[in-house]
Amino acid sequence: MKIFKIVLLAALIAAAVWLWTIVFPSPERVIRHHLAALAGDVSFQPHENAFFLAARSKNAAGFFTTNCEIIIDVPGRVERTLRRDEIARDLVAAHSEVAALTVQFLDVNVVLDAGKQSAVADLTVRARVPGWKDDAVQEMRFTFQKIGGRWLITRAAPLRSLS
């Protein structure tokens, strides 16, 4: 009976800790969640509803600050710098250019500054498009800033893996 009480107490404590992390997530967890949501918003499957695609594209732009800078450099494929107002427009354009797009953010490493008001997330972007010979992979650095209680991306730039 005593063991049962101890196990029950441990389970209750674990549940309380888990609930606490859900209700009050750490900044790192929030940033990871944002990145996962962003990857989901920019990915699309063939024959998806255009209305939902447009809504998701607009939603993706919402993860960035108004004066953000996004540098995309996939050797031999895409090389451009985007602003926030161009994100949704380019994503909608991408829907008509390629049949499908799957974006994954892998090996995310988040480092917060001392004041926990800005953060840097280094990650590997893997983009898969049907018809491409292989996946496009690129190491990228996302710079986040906490603005109005929200973590927004101020800059996204590629990191050169090979110099």
Partner 1 sequence: MDTHRPGPRSSVRLRAAVFGRNWKFTLARVAIWVVLVIGFFRFVVLPVRVSGISMLPTCPNHSINFINRLAYIRHGPQRFDIVAVRLDPRPASPGFFQAPPHVLYFKRIIGLPGETVAFSNGRLIINGKETYEPYENFAKYPCFWDDSDVTDGSNQYYVVGDNRTMPAEDHQHGRCLRSQIIGKAML
Q: Looking at beta carbons only, is 79 or 85 nearer to partner 1?
A: 79
Three-class DSSP category at 63: coil
Nearest CA among 66, 50, 135 for reference residue 101:
135
Distance in Å, CB of 105 to partner 1, minimum = 10
Tell me: does residue 97 bind partner 1 (CB under 8 A).
no
Region of residue 90 (phi > 0: left; psi between -120 and 50: alpha; otherwise: beta): alpha
Q: Which of residues 36-75 bind partner 1 (CB under 8 A)?
A: 75
Contact status: 107 vs partner 1 (CB under 8 A)? yes
Instruction: State the DSSP string of 78-135.
Output: EEEEE-HHHHHHHHHHHHHHSS-BEEEEEEEEEEE-TTSSEEEEEEEEEEE-TT-SS-
131 binding partner 1? (CB under 8 A):
no
Min separation Cβ 162 and partner 1, Å: 3
For partner 1, the binding residues (CB under 8 A) are: 75-76, 106-107, 109, 122, 124, 126, 133-135, 137-139, 159-163
